[in-house]
Amino acid sequence: MIKTGEPDWNDLRYFLAAARAGTLSGAARALGVRHTTISRRLTALEGALGVSLVVRRPHGIEITPLGRKLLPLGDDLERAMQALTALVRSGKNRVRLALPSGFSSLFGQSMAAFHKTHPNINLELTSGSRPVDLQRGEADLAVRVGVVGDDSLIAQKLCVAGWSIYASQRYLDRHPMPIDPRQLAGHEIIGFHASLAGVPGAKWIEAHGAGATTVFRVAEMTEMLAAALSGAGLAVMPCMLAESEPRMLRLAPDILGSHPVSLVYRREIGAEAPVRAVIRFVASVIKDHAVLISGEAR
């Protein structure tokens, strides 16, 4: 293959996506383009470099030895471009904050005050159970529950989130109190999707749920709250979420499990003034609700 010119490094995104997906169609789905676009951009990159990076097979692609050597360099370049993009976005006063399910309600009443104090900062909130990938630029900051395992990220511990066991009156009409949370045999319980197997509630049910019937499994804590309110079963869930709903009844005074709550962000954006303002805002809001989040006060 003859080199015909300088490479367009934007084509590198398509090569990295293809290598990660293993197929052109998988890369196309990841980037939201046609698979023919992936093929064309790969061909353009190979032509500019004068080397073959992939071998097209009937059931996918195979990365050439030289292509495998290029992958870590491509990853470094991608992270550098993402960091540059994040810095530019911060310079434009746009900060994206990702929250776990159930946390957005804590920020609602404080948002107006924040915007009054910082009218030039465009703060965007997203919420969900799936942790966002900060390294890939899915958000600038994230409130994360559980241990943060990425040493390349700054993790500022905010508080501890407690879990306990709850039910609605509809459930208790069928299964009157007292209910021993350590002996759940004979009860209906709301279980957890495999993606949440590491949360305290899932671990409690695994340890004490022998003989119980799992009526269904959820991937979002808001879904668990809705199911418990309907009377479907017992729910071991975050105290903050359950105790914000007056129709939910706590069945045990104890905290059955807990994990840390941290604010996480990339080191390179931590010094930006808009980001620092949001960091202070998040820390203040969580501090104001730390007792509720912990579940300790009854």
pLDDT for residue 1 is more than 50 = no
Lowest model confidence (mean pLDDT) among 72-81, 96-105, 159-168, 285-294: 72-81
Q: What pLDDT was estimated at residue 93?
A: 81
Nearest Cα to Cα of residue 289 among 193, 161, 184, 163: 161
Pairing of strands 122-127, 141-145: unpaired
Residue % of the chain over a pLDDT of 90: 47
Q: What pLDDT was estimated at residue 128?
A: 81
Q: What pLDDT was estimated at residue 113?
A: 92
Q: What is the pTM of this model?
A: 0.64
Q: How sure is the predictor about 2, in pLDDT bands with cuts at 50, 70 and 90?
A: very low
pLDDT for residue 110 is more than 60 = yes
- Cα–Cα distance, 100 to 80 (Å, whole number): 27
The pLDDT tens digits of the residues spanning 51-80 come to: 898 898 888 889 999 888 888 888 888 887
Q: What pLDDT was estimated at residue 255?
A: 93
pLDDT for residue 91 is more than 60 = no
Q: How sure is the predictor about 5, in pLDDT bands with cuts at 50, 70 and 90?
A: low
Whether omega for the bond prior to residue 178 falls within 30 degrees of 0, making it cis, is: yes
- Amino acid letter, residue 126: T
